[in-house]
């Protein structure tokens, strides 16, 4: 009886610590995008493979350019195979991903 109680108590104490650790491996399930700490996890979806916290990309749903976090280009890559984006020099470029 005591072993069962001890096992349940240990699980209750350890589980809250384990859940956030597993959540960090779910794309979009963490605060890494907001904290600008995603690193190279999303580099394949970004122009030149360089991580940037924000990009000014064309949103085909709204029909205009919008500032997007890193998950915006990821969604555009999955849905459209790429996206147009603007650079500091005012140029419009296609990023095929």
**What confidence tens digit (pLDDT) does each residue in 39-69 have?**
567 888 888 888 787 899 999 999 999 999 8
Indicate whether 96 pLDDT > 90.
yes
**Whole-number percent of the chain with pLDDT over 90:** 36
Question: Which residue(s) pair with 82 in the sheet?
Answer: 96
The phi, psi pair for 83, rounded to 5°, reads: -160, 155
The phi, psi pair for 7, rounded to 5°, reads: -65, -45
Distances (CA, A) of 56 to 10, 48, 64, 68: 48, 15, 10, 6
Query: From CA 73, how far away is CA 59, in angstroms rounded?
Result: 9
pLDDT score for 66:
95
Q: Chain-wide mean pLDDT for the chain?
A: 73
User: Is-above-0.75 flag for pTM?
Assistant: no
Domain boundaries, the chain: 1-30, 34-97
pLDDT score for 29:
47
């Amino acid at each position: 009886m005591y072993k069962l109680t001890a096992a349940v108590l240990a699980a209750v104490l350890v589980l809250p610590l384990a859940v956030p650790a597993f959540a960090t491996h779910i794309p979009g399930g963490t605060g890494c995008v907001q904290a600008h700490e995603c690193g190279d996890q999303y580099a394949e979806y970004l122009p030149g493979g360089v991580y940037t916290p924000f990009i000014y990309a064309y949103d085909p749903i709204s029909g205009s350019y919008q500032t997007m976090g890193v998950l915006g280009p990821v969604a555009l890559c999955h849905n459209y195979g790429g996206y147009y984006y603007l650079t500091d020099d005012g140029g419009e470029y296609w990023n095929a991903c």
